[in-house]
Amino acid sequence: MCRHLGWLGRDVTVSSLVLDPPYGLRTQSYAPRRQKHGLLNADGWGVGFFDGDEIRRWRSAAPLWGDVSFTSVAPALRSHCVLAAVRSATVGMPIEVSATAPFTDGRWLLSHNGIVDRRIMPVTSSAESICDSAILADLIFARGLDALGDVIAELGTADPHARLNILAGNGSRLLATTWGDTLSVLRREDGVVVASEPYDDDPDWEDVPDCHLVEVTADGVTLTALGGKR
C-alpha cells in the first residue's frame, strides 16, 4: 500500500506537509509506521496542488527520500489544497511516472492506496497507465466524484480482495475513503490534513474507521459509513 496525504485550508508550503514533519511522507517513503502491506514506498512519489484554479503536478518514479531538487523547491510551493503520495508498486504493475499518483482529470487530483482486480473495471483508452490505480482513477473520474462512495462499495463487493483507500481534492473539497487500510484526520486551526498515517505524534489525530467516506470542506469534516461489504 502506498501512503497519501491531503490538505485543505489556508496557503501552506508543500514542504511543511510532506518533508518537515517527523513522520511525513518523506519518512514514510522508507519507514512508514502503520503500513500493513509492503515495507516501504520506494517506487515513486507525486505532489499535486492548486495554484488558483490551475492544477500543478510533480511526479517521479524514483524514491522521495533521495530527491534533492524537490527538497530544494518544495519550501517555495504554497497552496491551499495539496495532494501527495509515495508509492509501493503492486507486483506486476509498471514503475513509471504515469502510474504514479496523483492522477487528474483536470478538475480533481486523486490517489489510491491499495489494489483492485483490473478485470472488474471497464477497459478504456483514457487511463494514464495500465496500473490498477490509474484505471480506477479513470473510472472514478468518469462516474463523477459525487458517486465515489457508491463506486468503492460496488468494486469492493465485486472484488473481495480489493483495498480501496482513495484520496481526492478539487481545490474546495477533499474526499477520502477507507476500504482496507488506515486513514487519519487532523483538524488544525488553519485547515485539515487527511493522511494514511499521522505525520507526527499530535494527540489531535483521529483515526477513521474502515469502510467510510470522509468529506472535508470549509464547513468541516463529515464521515459517512459506506454500503457494500468487505
**Strand, coil or helix: 158:** helix
- Looking at the chain, list the stretches that DSSP marks H as alpha helix, in order from N- to C-terminal side: 14-18, 25-28, 68-73, 132-143, 148-158
Q: What's the rounded Cα separation, in Å, for the pair 79 and 87?
A: 22
**Nearer to ligand GLN by C-beta: 80 or 87?**
87
Q: Does 133 bind ligand GLN (CB under 6 A)?
A: yes
> Smallest distance from the beta carbon of 131 to ligand GLN, in angstroms?
5
Between 178 and 217, how does the x/- string for binding to ligand GLN read (CB under 6 A)?
A: ----------------------------------------
Q: How many residues bind ligand GLN (CB under 6 A)?
A: 16
CA distance 78 to 158: 40
Q: Using CB under 6 A, which of 15, 25, 87, 108 touches ligand GLN?
A: 87
Determine the interface stretch with ligand GLN among 6-14, 15-23, 81-89, 210-218 (rule: CB under 6 A).
81-89
Q: What are the strands of the beta sheet with 184-188, ordered from one edge?
A: 54-60, 45-51, 78-86, 3-13, 191-195, 184-188, 206-207
**Cell numbers representing residue 37 in the block:** 502491506
Is 81 assigned a catalytic role?
no
Query: Cα–chain-centroid distance for residue 28?
Result: 13
Rule CB under 6 A: is residue 88 a binding residue for ligand GLN? yes
Give the residue, chosen from 26, 59, 80, 112, that forms a contact with ligand GLN under the rule CB under 6 A.
Answer: 112
Could you give the string, one character per residue 113-132, with x where binding to ligand GLN holds by CB under 6 A and - elsewhere?
xxx---------------xx
SS3 call for 76: helix
Radius of gyration of the chain, Cα coordinates, nearest whole angstrom: 16
Using rule CB under 6 A, residue 35 touches ligand GLN: no
Cα torsion 194, 196, 197, 203: sign = positive
Closer CB to ligand GLN, 115 or 226, in the complex: 115
- Closest separation between CB of residue 214 and ligand GLN, Å? 18
Q: Which residues are catalytic?
A: 2
Residues at the site binding ligand GLN, with contacts judged by CB under 6 A: 1-2, 38, 87-90, 93, 99, 112-115, 131-133
